[in-house]
């Protein structure tokens, strides 16, 4: 997923940070706003959906 984010938004983002974790934690934050939490939803994110959320956020 990180490669797709960089490929699609590399000119629009200033930083992409990966923080290793354990226990099944997978969260995505955009400008300090939580946009996805595997812990809350119980499933890994759908890549096209996450890319769309990022795209919409960057447009605003």
* Structural contact between residues 50 and 30, judged by C-beta atoms closer than 8 angstroms: no
User: pTM of this prediction?
Assistant: 0.75
Count of structural domains, the chain: 1
Containing structural domain, residue 38 = 2-59
Over the stretch 4-49, which tens digit does the pLDDT of each residue have? 999 999 898 888 888 878 888 888 888 888 888 888 989 888 999 8
- Segments of 1-60 assigned E as strands: 27-30, 33-37
Give the CATH number for residue 7.
3.40.30.10
What local confidence, expressed as pLDDT, does residue 9 receive? Answer: 92
């Amino acid at each position: 997923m990180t490669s797709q984010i960089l490929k699609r938004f590399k000119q629009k983002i200033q930083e992409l940070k990966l923080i290793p974790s354990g226990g099944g934690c997978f969260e995505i934050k955009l400008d300090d706003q939580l946009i996805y939490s595997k812990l809350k939803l119980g499933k890994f994110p759908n890549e096209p959906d996450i890319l769309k959320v990022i795209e919409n956020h960057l447009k605003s």
